[in-house]
């Protein structure tokens, strides 16, 4: 009798697993509706996904009037890391109806679209990021912008921490000897301690006395509860891999061009297999956790029914 009831339960279990597999999807978290991206500047594309972090995806710039008509290829066949940086092209006409499409390699006929945003040629922006007190999660991708001194050709950038701007502690190297373009994409290292007193220090390569500081900003730890710490730890190793990938692309090419980014990402594919598989494990655990309340309830209902029949 017990054996027979196990056979009755199995189809329910596999049905809920199949349901979990079909539910894979992608949701853009940036850009959002109404965002303005400056042509030639670095911006973040981020997305949530239930698919494995080693799944491959491609990104294209399109307009929402004319979906499927690619204006610009942002990145092709990169890993599903949840965030990348890109440089909006300068050769598209100004408009407020741009969208980014995400094409999963596993299902190319079903693209996902971002909300619509503008690309502007305006360079008169006087807001620099991070702004005072801005909060970022450790492990998240952000864009740093700074005022360009035309006399400075190359800069090195460091993540610093401290209460006194004259006595900051060196936390991490963001980039060394890159062109002084005024903007760069960066992934805050996932192990960065929570704190409200972080700065970026931008140092002229030729004259280390010429220094620009960002506003003071806050880093929030990404681990929020003991229950999720295991998942967070493997997610953390995946994002620190992405951080290395992006910062190596940045320091070697001095520009976060999408091609440098995607080639760096794909060339790291082989060596990163351990990290990717732990990230895969964590995201499939995530999916399983999502489904299990329903799955468990139906299994319990089944046992209850069978017990009643006995």
Ligand X SMILES: *[C@@H]1O[C@H](CO)[C@@H](O)[C@H](O)[C@H]1NC(C)=O
Tell me which residues touch ligand X (CB under 6 A). 27, 29, 39, 48, 71-72, 89-94, 119, 121, 153, 158, 170, 173, 201, 203, 206
Which residue's beta carbon is nearest to the bound ligand X?
94
**Around Cβ 180, how many Cβ atoms within 10 Å?**
18
Contact status, residue 276 vs residue 239, Cβ threshold 8 Å:
no
Nearer to ligand X, 13 or 287 (CB): 287
Based on DSSP, count helices (H) and strands (E) in the chain, helices before strands.
Answer: 4, 17
**Shortest Å, Cβ 48 to ligand X:** 4
Nearer to ligand X, 56 or 171 (CB): 171
Nearer to ligand X, 115 or 302 (CB): 115
**Shortest Å, Cβ 169 to ligand X:** 9
* CA atoms of 102 and 45, how far apart (whole Å): 10
**Shortest Å, Cβ 265 to ligand X:** 19
Nearer to ligand X, 203 or 243 (CB): 203
Positive/negative CA dihedral, 294, 238, 159, 172? positive
Nearer to ligand X, 13 or 39 (CB): 39
**Shortest Å, Cβ 9 to ligand X:** 31
Q: How many angstroms separate the Cα of 303 from the Cα of each of 14, 215, 281? A: 16, 60, 29
**Shortest Å, Cβ 83 to ligand X:** 11
3-state secondary structure (DSSP) of residue 79:
strand
* CA atoms of 203 and 198, how far apart (whole Å): 16
83 phi and psi, to 5 degrees?
-160, 140
């Amino acid at each position: 009798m017990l054996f027979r009831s196990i056979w009755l339960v199995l189809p329910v279990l596999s049905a809920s697993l199949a349901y979990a597999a079909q539910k894979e999807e992608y949701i853009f978290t940036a850009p959002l509706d109404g965002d303005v991206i400056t042509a030639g500047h670095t911006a973040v594309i981020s997305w949530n996904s239930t698919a494995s972090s080693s799944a491959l995806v491609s990104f294209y710039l399109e307009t929402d009037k004319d979906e499927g008509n690619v204006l610009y290829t942002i990145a092709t066949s990169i890993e599903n890391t949840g965030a990348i940086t890109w440089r909006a092209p300068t050769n598209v006409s100004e408009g407020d109806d741009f969208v980014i499409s995400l094409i999963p390699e596993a299902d190319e006929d079903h693209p996902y679209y971002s909300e619509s945003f503008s690309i502007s040629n305006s360079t008169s922006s006087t807001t620099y990021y991070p702004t005072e007190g801005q909060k970022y999660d450790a492990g998240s991708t952000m864009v740093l912008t700074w005022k360009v001194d035309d006399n400075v050709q190359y800069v090195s950038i460091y993540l610093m921490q401290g209460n006194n701007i004259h006595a900051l502690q060196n936390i991490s190297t963001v980039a060394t000897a890159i062109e002084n373009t005024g903007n760069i994409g960066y992934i805050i290292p996932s192990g960065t301690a929570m704190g409200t007193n972080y700065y970026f220090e931008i140092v002229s390569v030729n004259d280390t006395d010429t220094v620009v500081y960002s506003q003071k900003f806050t880093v929030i730890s990404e681990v929020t509860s003991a229950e999720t710490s295991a998942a967070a730890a493997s997610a953390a190793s995946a994002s620190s891999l992405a951080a290395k990938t992006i910062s190596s692309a940045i320091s070697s090419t001095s520009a976060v061009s999408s091609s440098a980014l995607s080639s760096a990402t794909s060339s790291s594919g082989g060596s990163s297999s351990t990290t990717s598989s732990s990230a895969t494990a964590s995201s499939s655990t995530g999916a399983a956790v999502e489904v299990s309340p329903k799955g468990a309830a139906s299994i319990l209902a089944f046992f209850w029914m069978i017990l009643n029949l006995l």
